[in-house]
Amino acid sequence: MEQEDFEGTLVLEQLAAIGRVEEFFDAIDSDDVPRAVSLMKRAKVDQATIAIVVKKIEQSDSEH
């Protein structure tokens, strides 16, 4: 999963608002889904969007 997958999304905007974009991508790069979810919750991303992001992360893992 690459940063381009999130370019211009509300998820990145909300993470940027709390200064956690890099930390989010670090979590994704290390397959730390719980950490990514925690960061999205802290950024007040809604549950439906979090579920979509987790699904994308899991799909990305299966492609490698």
Tens of pLDDT, residue by residue over 47-59, are: 988 998 898 888 8
Pair 41, 50: CB distance under 8 Å: yes
Tens of pLDDT, residue by residue over 1-34, are: 455 455 457 899 999 999 999 999 999 988 899 9
Does the model's pTM come out above 0.85? no
Parse the chain into domains and list their residue ranges.
3-63
Question: What is the per-residue pLDDT for 61?
Answer: 66
